[in-house]
Amino acid sequence: MIETKEIEYKPKDFSSDQEVKWCPGCGDYAILKAVQKAMPLIGKKREDIVFVSGIGCSSRFPYYMDTFGFHGIHGRAPALASGVKLANPDLSVWQITGDGDALAIGGNHFIHAIRRNMGLNILLFNNRIYGLTKGQFSPTTNLGQKTKSSPQGVIDNPFHPGELILGAQGTFFARTVDINPRHLTDIAVDAEKHAGTAVIEILQNCVIFNDKVFSDYTSKENKHDALLYAEHGKPMIFGKESDKGLRLNGLEIEVVTIGENGVTEDDLIVHDAHVVNPTLHFMLVRLEFPMVLGVIRSVEQEPFEERLTKQVAEVEAKSPFKTMDDLLQSGETWEIK
């Protein structure tokens, strides 16, 4: 169990001596700071924290954290993280990945890690583009967008990461955005508290190859009316004047204005992140306007490593072999003199 008591660390204790090499203005800087701020709050010793990653701009992240770190190979970080966690379940294991790393080359590992529900925290930086290879479209790039490898526009349908995670039976999914690092810090702490795999999708701006891709949501003028911060047990309200909300209309979610057409706060959906049936969560992750942020799903389920520990205890109690020598000498043996 995680102790919520704050250990005597400061965010800068988690900053390594390596020079950070992202492009000036990259959304990753804010994410790094927010995560460094979360670390003193998770109740883990620095030496018990491991950051692993795959390949891509975001995957340089472990080099900048003064914790244990492993920069792996493209797409394979979920497997790397799983090995670390199983080898030593006491470690707090964080996986940093991007939309290409997690959803294209590493798609298989990503869904299987989620399905197993091991105690991993996965931060998915979604900038809807390949940055490190200089501007090709990714599995989340908008349909029709022109990129270096789609000069006439993308004709692949994009993934909604949240749907993939829910479809893989994810027990924790949250979404946030690089312009609100404080929100990310809070969610990162929630993720660590969750027993099982927690995925946080972070909408992140690539200033060089996909600048302003999220500006419909994140610009000063739009951010209040286009982003909804969901909280479990609270009505789904957003807007500069907090006068807009989400209402269920059959199997669709509709945006309504409180006070108009007789709509009151009581008509709005009250967010339930803990409901096991993911139908509401599917609707929330698919909603394009407003974009729902916050912890969308957080349900309890015994994580993989606890099931494993139980099995070990069961085998231990039942097995006739208590020592290695018992095993080596088991079965039918015969003596040659």
User: Binding residues for other proteins, per CB under 8 A?
Assistant: 16, 18, 45-48, 50, 52-53, 55, 62-63, 65-73, 76, 78-88, 90-91, 108-109, 112, 308, 311-312, 315-316, 319, 321, 323-325, 327-329, 331-337
Q: Which of 91, 154 has the CB closer to other proteins?
A: 91
By C-beta, is 84 or 166 nearer to other proteins? 84
CB nearer to other proteins: give 109 or 281. 109
Residue type, 85: K
Burial 315-336 (b: 16+ CB within 10 A, else e): eeeeeeeeeeeeeeeeeeeeee
Q: Which is nearer to other proteins, 53 or 298 (CB)?
A: 53
CA distances from 270 to 106, 146, 224, 246, 267 (A): 35, 39, 19, 9, 9
Q: How far is the CB of 119 from other proteins (least distance, A)?
A: 13
CB 12 within 8 A of CB 50: no
| Closest approach of other proteins to the CB of residue 19, in Å | 10
Q: Which is nearer to other proteins, 242 or 329 (CB)?
A: 329
Closest separation in Å from C-beta 130 to other proteins: 18
Comparing CB distances to other proteins, the nearer of 90 and 241 is: 90
User: Burial letters for 172-210: b for 16+ Cβ neighbours within 10 Å, e otherwise?
Assistant: bbbbbbbbbbebbbbbbbbbbbbbbbbbbbbbbbbbbbb
Which amino acid is residue 308, in one-letter code? L
Give the shortest CB-55-to-other proteins separation in angstroms. 8
Nearer to other proteins, 1 or 87 (CB): 87
Q: In angstroms, rounded to a whole number, what is the distance separating the alpha carbons of residues 215 and 177?
A: 11
CA distance 61 to 22: 10
Name which of 5 and 337 has its Cβ closer to other proteins. Answer: 337
C-beta closer to other proteins: residue 55 or 237: 55
Find the shortest distance in angstroms from Cβ 37 to other proteins.
Answer: 19
Scan for tokens 């079965």, then name that residue.
331
- DSSP annotation of 323: S
Minimal distance in Å, beta carbon 202 to other proteins? 21
In angstroms, give the least distance from the CB of 162 to other proteins. 21
- Tokens 């803990």, residue? 274
Judge residue 267's burial from the number of C-beta atoms within 10 Å of its C-beta, 0-12 exposed, 13-18 middle, 19 or more buried: middle
| SS3 of residue 324 by DSSP | helix
Pairing relationship of beta strands 49-53 and 68-71 according to DSSP bridges: parallel
Cβ 164 to other proteins shortest distance, Å: 15
> Nearest distance from residue 331's CB to other proteins, in Å?
5
Q: Where are the alpha helices (DSSP H) in 75-197?
A: 77-87, 99-100, 107-116, 161-167, 181-193
Tokens read off for 331: 């079965």
